[in-house]
Amino acid sequence: MYITSKIKPLVLALVLLLGMLAAPAAPQAAGCAWIYAGVGKPLNNTTSNNPTGGNTELCRKAFLLSFNQTTGVADWVMERLSASALSGDADRSFSHFKSDPDLAGGPALSDYRGSGYDRGHLAPAADMKWDQRAMDQSFYLSNIAPQVGAGFNRGIWARLEAKIRGWTRTKGDIIVITGPVYYDYRPVIGGRVVVPDAYFKIIYAPADGRALAFLMPNRRITAPALTPHQVTIDALEVLTGYDFFNTLPVTLEDRLESETGPLWP
């Protein structure tokens, strides 16, 4: 059909407008406000060992993350778990590792291929049994980090994740923050993904007003005990440069972050 020169610009503008409306928008952190309600998102306000630069916050169906474009790994991933979320029909065999569709220039499968490291989940797939889409999103590489396999990702780290699910079943509402820690030695895989020296997990039970924190080196660990890896949240704030639980009442925040209480039953 012939289109006059006066109509052509209008047609082009309409096509561009329709394209913008059809394009999926990157999920914004505000959509995950239910996860950090009452405790706040981690805030980067100090100098630390962790490289900084180009962070992008992405809201997923079951977790919120802050992806670091410099390291190719999320600085932190935040979940709010409930007992009901740990059961369901979601099947990890239907999920596949893939680049994050909302993260331009993010990690690719080729970055991990042949590296010798596991593609370790930061927000565990086993936390997502309640919903297949949440399970699928946990396999986006923005939620993945290079981890030593035997003795760590498939060992003590998996044991800690299972413990957290057990605590969730008894306490009902658990907030978990997971992330990497970097020291001096920083191998790189795929030319752009920095291998963390260690990983941390912070677990907070609002009903009890208690928190636990762990720091584990990214290496084979043969001893099964978790308590040797307990640290204070204050110590993790120094290592990571993040301020955790920054909207809690100051007295409660100070107590939680200075304690290393016994493991929960």
229 counts as catalytic = no
Among 41, 80, 119, 121, the one annotated catalytic: 121
Task: Quote the pLDDT of residue 201.
Answer: 98
Q: Considering its fold, how many domains does the chain have in total?
A: 1
Rounded to 10°, the helix 250-258/233-240 angle is 90
- Domain CATH number, residue 51: 3.40.570.10
- Tokens read off for 154: 């498939």
Integer Cα distance of 124 and 178 in angstroms: 10
Task: Quote the pLDDT of residue 87.
Answer: 92
Say if residues 120 and 202 touch (Cβ distance below 8 Å): no
Q: CA 103 → CA 42, 65, 123, 218, distances in Å?
A: 20, 12, 17, 26
What pTM does this model have?
0.88
> Residue 245 — φ and ψ, nearest 5°?
55, 45
Is 75 domain-assigned?
yes
Per-residue model confidence as pLDDT tens digits over 102-154: 998 899 999 999 999 999 999 999 999 999 999 999 999 999 999 999 999 99
Low-confidence ranges of the chain (pLDDT < 70): 1-28, 46-53
Task: Quote the pLDDT of residue 51.
Answer: 63
Task: Quote the pLDDT of residue 18.
Answer: 35
Is 132 domain-assigned?
yes
Is 21 domain-assigned?
no
